[in-house]
Amino acid sequence: MAGPSTRAARGPGAPRLVATAVAMAVAVAVALAGPPSAAAAGQEEHSRVRAMTSSNWTLVLEGEWMLKFYAPWCPACLQTESEWETFAKNGEILDISVGKVDVTQEPGLSGRFFVTTLPTIFHAKDGIFRRYRGPGISKDLQDYILHKKWKAVEPVAGWKSPSSITMSGMAGLFSLSGWIRQLHNYFTETLGIPIWGSYFIFVVATLMIGLILGLILVLLADCFCPPKPRDGTDQSELIEKEKEALIVEDLGISEGKKDLSDEEEEKDDLSEGEEDKEDLSEREEERSNSNDETSEEDSAVDEGSATEDAGNVPDQQLTDVEPESSVRQRKSHAADVEQ
């Protein structure tokens, strides 16, 4: 009789022990996982910072934004993460949108904004970008927006603006580098290829791509600028052109010879002219000498005639004196007769 009574006593207690054990396991799981309300609140806080990608970054061109570039492995970025979240909570009050970009996932955007240091913060107002260089504290960020300190900062130059053509090309290069890095990691980590083997693959691929692009450029050049067909007519034309060129060269040589002969004739004429000048000068000297001689003779003749004239002067005086004396004698004789 004891057996059935003990079984009846044990029967109802077993389910209670099982239920207690299940309740304790659920409590432990909930404690380890944390309260669901805290997780939901964390998700809501995280959603206030908008994650920007290559597909939605153009939203920054409208309105006022504060954009942060970070990397998960950057210690400074992790230190300012909570401050950035606090600043994002006040985004509605400040009438500003807050976003962030993971450079490891979006290398194209980091190239478009030419990010070289982390963390990097940009202020955008209607498509005009300015670099924020202050501390990443929430209070300083709020003062930067409330007091409009961004007006004292020089905007990014037009050619360096993220929406410019040059920075679009830079974004393409950074995206290509990110793709190559991912491919390298795939070769080395997933496929187990050595690092030098991955580099060798990239070198061969670069050479092959260069050859293919060169071939394509040659084909395009042949299509748009086809070479002239080399038929018999073309050859005859080439021969005629060569003949014409030879004729022109012969004419040029003959003209050159004529020019040389003309120059020689001119030189001969000049030499003859100089000889004629010398002859004329000699003749003039001879004439001057003869004139000198004749002038000397004339002077000698003049001197002789002068001496002759001097000798004849007393004779003339004597002849003149004689009539005067005869006149006087006649006058005296006439006077005597009158007396």
Q: Among the listed ranges 33-37, 210-214, 229-233, 251-255, which one has the minimum average pLDDT value? A: 33-37
3-class SS at 102? strand
pLDDT reported for residue 338? 55
Homologous superfamily (CATH) of 50-163 is Glutaredoxin (3.40.30.10)
Residue percentage of the chain with pLDDT more than 90: 21
Instruction: Identify the residue with better confidence: 47 or 119.
Output: 119
The model's confidence at residue 38, banded by pLDDT at 50, 70 and 90, is: very low
Q: Where are the domains of the chain?
A: 50-163, 169-222
Burial of 92 (0-12, 13-18, 19+ CB in 10 A): exposed
Q: What is the pLDDT of residues 193-248, one digit of tens each?
A: 899 998 999 899 999 999 999 999 988 888 888 776 655 455 667 777 788 888 87
Count, residues in the chain: 339
Residue 24 has pLDDT above 70, yes or no: no
Instruction: Identify the residue with better confidence: 53 or 333.
Output: 53
The model's confidence at residue 124, banded by pLDDT at 50, 70 and 90, is: very high
Over residues 292-317, mean pLDDT: 54
Question: What distances in angstroms separate CA 67 from CA 112, 125, 257, 325, one per listed residue?
Answer: 13, 11, 83, 156
pLDDT reported for residue 2? 40
pLDDT reported for residue 182? 85
Q: What is the pLDDT of residues 153-198, one digit of tens each?
A: 999 888 888 888 888 888 888 888 888 888 888 888 888 889 999 8
Of the CA atoms within 13 Å of residue 314, those in its CB half-sphere come to 3
Instruction: Identify the residue with better confidence: 69 or 297.
Output: 69
Q: Residues with catalytic annotation?
A: 74, 77
Q: Long-range contacts: 205-214, Cβ < 8 Å, 24+?
A: none
Instruction: Identify the residue with better confidence: 297 or 14.
Output: 297
Burial of 108 (0-12, 13-18, 19+ CB in 10 A): buried
Q: Among all chains, which residue has been given the structure tokens 């309260």?
A: 35
The model's confidence at residue 68, banded by pLDDT at 50, 70 and 90, is: very high
Residue 259 has pLDDT above 70, yes or no: no
pLDDT reported for residue 228? 66
pLDDT reported for residue 333? 63
Instruction: Identify the residue with better confidence: 179 or 122.
Output: 122
| 122 contacts 150 by C-beta, under 8 angstroms | no
Instruction: Identify the residue with better confidence: 6 or 209.
Output: 209
| Arithmetic mean of pLDDT over the chain | 74
The model's confidence at residue 98, banded by pLDDT at 50, 70 and 90, is: very high
Over residues 306-331, mean pLDDT: 53
pLDDT reported for residue 334? 60
**CA 127 to CA 75: how far, in whole Å?**
30
Whole-model pTM: value is 0.49
